[in-house]
């Protein structure tokens, strides 16, 4: 019995129901006694020779509660144990004083060891374990794990996805697919070559819909994975696919989705050009020679041309460089052209890779931590899709300056289409897009680059073409033959050869930390500085400008559809802003201009 801070042991019980107690406080000699009457009243008989231990009892209970919370979280969560202890210590500072980390660590580690299954040694074992525990990870009350896949070479792959998420994105109109792999965040065990991620673009927002752990990056593995993906999710019918320059991945998408238009990332193309310039030691030469720099920038702008005009554009670059022995890339123009595409890069995918690394805080996390985070990411995407379906913005608004480069490219494309400018003039105008980026990149001397897709540049002998070696790294890239330097322009002794830079093959996706909703801002941030914002290249205005671009009567065009004439004015605000079709289709009775509720509309 505990009474008034003292602990007692019962020594005698009478027939009448009285109970006699003696002090039983540990490590203390005390003659204190007490009697409990029949009605439960406790009376102290002999006084105690020590103070009561109310505080000690409270501390013991506090310590037990704190320990139970730590053990429970260690069982159910995959966070680092020290992080769990630190979080609970902030919530319960008094208990943390009584129960320090060294004492808590062993209990927490033992609890986690009993609850968390052992790590599988291969992806096959992982698939077999998840087959038996299919509901271990769930999204929308459905299994997040889909199946394990074996390609014809015996390589294993494990697929994770949510049916409801994919169906909701497709239902909202997601037809643009982006795909890429990353190896920076794959689990340390079992062995994985990469995490392959498929995204769908919805309202300019990238939604990751499928994750695949892969043992190999071969065409056979990609093809088998995409076959199973198409079979399990037939509602996904992409019209546009954006990938990198990996040959096996391109061939697999071409075989599985032949009806889709496949494009490669423009940013990787430009990065490959500057990477080879740096690797071959011509950084300073290109930096100091304006003609050489212009050739590089014009080559970067080749991807903005229509496919059938890229060869002519390359010929113009050769003439500009006064060289005649430059051969076109072995891969055709259709491999890297991004002409007319609203999104010319897959930096949204790279940005997602970077966010994964920030989430894990380590390069190769624990497998169960890794899978739990992927499951939570997919669960969060449901909320994002619902917000987008209601028209609620989920990211920051795009600043106007981020659209400037896209406007420049579009204007130059229109002038090229109408024949106002030539292909060479188009390349010169669009070369400004890559100016600041190349200027900064080519001034680096010791920093490794961050792209897997390298464009090897081979220097042939005069009037000779060297054969391409049978090398897998070359097969997965765009091969460009660069002309020799015209020695009449700059003396040989003035060209300073830079030492070859040790290029890190495993690029770091943190170089791509760009919000996916600011695609135009990618090029503003990479290629321009603030002083260039108003330096739009000069273009000649045609005499028949008003015939080519007739003026629009902005005052009488419907503010919603931007096609029909304004016919209705709203009461009470009085704004005449809607046509008859848009008037009948408004879901909310609010003026599109001032957002004030209106009670009626008058035809004017």
Domain span holding position 46: 2-52
List the strands of the sheet with 568-571, edge to edge. 576-578, 568-571, 600-603
Mean pLDDT of the region 568-574: 85
pLDDT for residue 53: 62
Same domain, 259 and 168: yes
Same domain, 147 and 251: yes
Same domain, 146 and 171: yes
pLDDT for residue 540: 60
Same domain, 238 and 204: yes
Environment class of 3 (CB within 10 Å of its CB; exposed 0-12, middle 13-18, buried 19+): middle
- Residue 196 forms part of a structural domain: yes
Give me the half-sphere count of Cα atoms (radius 13 Å) on the Cβ side of residue 392.
8
d(CA 424, CA 316): 6
Mean pLDDT of the region 196-225: 92
How many residues does the structure list for the chain? 604
Same domain, 174 and 248: yes
- Residue 438 forms part of a structural domain: yes
Q: How confident is the model at residue 528 (pLDDT cuts 50, 70, 90)?
A: low
Q: Which of these three, 52, 71, 91, is where a domain ends? A: 52
Same domain, 303 and 447: yes
Q: How confident is the model at residue 57 (pLDDT cuts 50, 70, 90)?
A: low
Find the CATH number of the domain harbouring 593: 3.30.40.10
Q: How confident is the model at residue 28 (pLDDT cuts 50, 70, 90)?
A: confident
Going through 151-204 in order, the beta strands assigned E by DSSP cover: 156-161, 176-182, 194-202
d(CA 442, CA 405): 21
d(CA 403, CA 522): 10
**503 or 78: which leads in pLDDT:** 78
Q: How confident is the model at residue 58 (pLDDT cuts 50, 70, 90)?
A: low
d(CA 295, CA 320): 7
- Residue 545 forms part of a structural domain: no
pLDDT at residue 427 is higher than 60: yes
Q: How confident is the model at residue 233 (pLDDT cuts 50, 70, 90)?
A: very high
- The answer to whether residues 144 and 378 touch, using CB atoms and an 8 Å cutoff, is yes
d(CA 97, CA 109): 20
List pLDDT tens digits, range 308-326: 777 788 777 777 775 533 3
pLDDT for residue 457: 37
pLDDT for residue 335: 54
Query: Could you tell me the maximum CA-CA distance found in the chain, to the nearest angstrom?
Result: 122
- Residue 169 forms part of a structural domain: yes
Q: Does the N-terminal peptide bond of residue 190 adopt cis geometry, omega within 30 degrees of 0?
A: yes
CA 246 to chain centre: 19
Q: Which of 160, 156, 236 lies closest to 201, judged by CA?
A: 236
- Residue 477 forms part of a structural domain: yes
Q: Which of 339, 342, 338, 304 lies closest to 203, judged by CA?
A: 342
Same domain, 380 and 367: yes
d(CA 452, CA 264): 13
List pLDDT tens digits, range 91-139: 988 888 888 898 899 889 888 888 878 889 899 999 999 999 999 999 9
Q: How confident is the model at residue 239 (pLDDT cuts 50, 70, 90)?
A: very high
Average pLDDT, the chain: 75
Find the CATH number of the domain harbouring 159: 3.30.420.10
Query: pTM to 2 decimals?
Result: 0.55
Task: Count how many domains the chain has.
Answer: 5
Mean pLDDT of the region 386-407: 71
Same domain, 318 and 349: no
- The answer to whether residues 330 and 479 touch, using CB atoms and an 8 Å cutoff, is yes
Mean pLDDT of the region 247-276: 84
Q: Which of these three, 115, 138, 167, is where a domain ends? A: 115
- Residue 543 forms part of a structural domain: no
pLDDT for residue 531: 47
Same domain, 212 and 274: no
pLDDT for residue 434: 62
Going through 365-516 in order, the beta strands assigned E by DSSP cover: 457-458, 480-481
List pLDDT tens digits, range 463-487: 333 333 333 333 343 343 344 444 4
CA pseudo-torsion sign 429, 445, 499, 496:
positive
d(CA 140, CA 382): 9
Go through 546-567 and write b for each residue having 16 or more CB atoms within 10 A of its CB, e for each that does not. eeeeeeeeeeebbbbeeeeebb
Task: Tell me whether strands 261-264 and 194-202 are parallel, antiparallel or unpaired.
Answer: unpaired
pLDDT at residue 282 is higher than 80: no
Question: Beta-carbon neighbour count of residue 423 at 10 Å?
Answer: 20
Q: Over pLDDT 70: what percentage of the chain? A: 69
Same domain, 468 and 366: no
d(CA 239, CA 549): 30
Q: Does the N-terminal peptide bond of residue 572 adopt cis geometry, omega within 30 degrees of 0?
A: yes
Mean pLDDT of the region 330-342: 55
pLDDT for residue 56: 56
**237 or 388: which leads in pLDDT:** 237
**111 or 289: which leads in pLDDT:** 111
pLDDT for residue 486: 44
Q: Which of these three, 115, 134, 149, is where a domain ends? A: 115
- Residue 540 forms part of a structural domain: no
Q: Over pLDDT 90: what percentage of the chain? A: 19
- Residue 541 forms part of a structural domain: no
Question: Beta-carbon neighbour count of residue 488 at 10 Å?
Answer: 7
- The answer to whether residues 451 and 507 touch, using CB atoms and an 8 Å cutoff, is yes
Q: How confident is the model at residue 157 (pLDDT cuts 50, 70, 90)?
A: very high
Same domain, 296 and 371: no
pLDDT for residue 390: 81
Q: How confident is the model at residue 490 (pLDDT cuts 50, 70, 90)?
A: very low
Same domain, 277 and 259: no
pLDDT at residue 221 is higher than 90: yes
């Amino acid at each position: 019995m505990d009474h008034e801070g003292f602990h007692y042991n019962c020594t005698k019980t009478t027939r009448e129901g009285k109970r006699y107690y003696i002090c039983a406080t540990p490590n203390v000699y005390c003659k204190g006694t007490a009697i409990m009457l029949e009605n439960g009243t406790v009376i102290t008989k002999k006084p105690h020779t020590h103070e009561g231990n109310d505080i000690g009892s409270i501390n013991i209970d506090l310590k037990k509660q704190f320990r139970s919370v730590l053990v429970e979280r260690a069982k159910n969560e995959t966070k680092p144990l020290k992080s769990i202890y630190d979080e609970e210590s902030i919530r319960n500072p008094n208990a943390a004083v009584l129960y320090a980390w060294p004492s808590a660590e062993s209990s927490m580690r033992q609890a986690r060891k009993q609850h968390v299954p052992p790590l599988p040694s291969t992806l096959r074992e992982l698939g077999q374990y998840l087959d038996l525990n299919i509901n271990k990870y769930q999204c929308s009350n459905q299994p997040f794990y889909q199946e394990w896949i074996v390609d014809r070479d015996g390589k294993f792959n494990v697929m994770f996805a949510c049916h409801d998420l994919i169906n909701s994105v497709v239902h909202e109109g997601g037809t643009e697919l982006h795909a890429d792999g990353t190896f920076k965040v794959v689990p340390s065990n079992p062995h994985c070559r990469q995490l392959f991620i498929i995204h769908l673009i919805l309202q300019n927002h990238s939604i990751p819909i499928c994750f695949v752990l892969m043992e190999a990056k071969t065409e056979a593995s990609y093809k088998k994975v995409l076959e199973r993906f198409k079979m399990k999710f037939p509602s996904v019918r992409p019209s546009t696919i954006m990938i990198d320059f990996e040959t096996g991945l391109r061939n697999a998408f071409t075989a599985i989705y032949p009806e889709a238009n496949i494009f490669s990332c423009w940013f990787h193309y430009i990065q490959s050009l500057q990477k080879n310039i740096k690797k071959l030691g011509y950084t300073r030469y290109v930096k100091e020679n304006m003609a050489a720099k212009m050739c590089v920038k014009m080559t970067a702008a080749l991807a903005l041309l229509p496919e059938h005009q890229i060869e002519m554009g390359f010929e113009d670059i050769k003439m500009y460089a006064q060289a005649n022995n430059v051969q076109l890339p072995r891969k055709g123009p259709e491999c890297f052209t991004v002409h007319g595409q609203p999104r010319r890069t897959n930096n949204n995918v790279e940005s997602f890779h970077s966010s994964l690394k920030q989430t894990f805080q380590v390069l190769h996390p624990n497998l169960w931590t890794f899978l739990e985070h992927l499951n939570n990411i997919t669960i969060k995407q449901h909320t994002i899709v619902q917000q987008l379906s209601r028209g609620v913005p989920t990211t920051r608004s795009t600043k106007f300056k981020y659209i400037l480069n896209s406007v420049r490219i579009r204007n130059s494309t229109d002038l090229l289409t109408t024949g106002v400018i030539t292909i060479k003039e188009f390349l010169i105008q669009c070369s400004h897009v890559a100016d600041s980026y190349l200027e900064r990149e080519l001034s680096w001397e010791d920093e490794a680059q961050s792209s897997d897709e390298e464009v090897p540049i081979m220097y042939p002998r005069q009037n000779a073409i060297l054969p391409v070696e049978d090398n897998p790294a070359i097969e997965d890239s765009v091969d460009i033959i660069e002309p020799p330097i015209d020695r009449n322009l700059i003396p040989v002794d003035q060209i300073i050869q830079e030492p070859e830079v040790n290029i890190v093959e495993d690029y770091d996706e943190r170089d791509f930390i760009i919000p996916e909703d600011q695609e135009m801002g990618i090029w503003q941030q990479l290629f321009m500085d603030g002083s260039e914002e108003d330096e739009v290249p000069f273009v000649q205005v045609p005499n028949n400008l008003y015939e080519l671009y007739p003026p629009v009567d902005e005052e009488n065009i419907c503010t919603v559809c931007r096609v029909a004439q304004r016919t209705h004015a709203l009461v009470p605000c009085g704004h005449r802003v809607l046509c008859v079709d848009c008037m009948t289709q408004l879901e909310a009775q609010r003026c599109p201009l001032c957002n004030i509720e209106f009670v009626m509309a008058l035809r004017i």
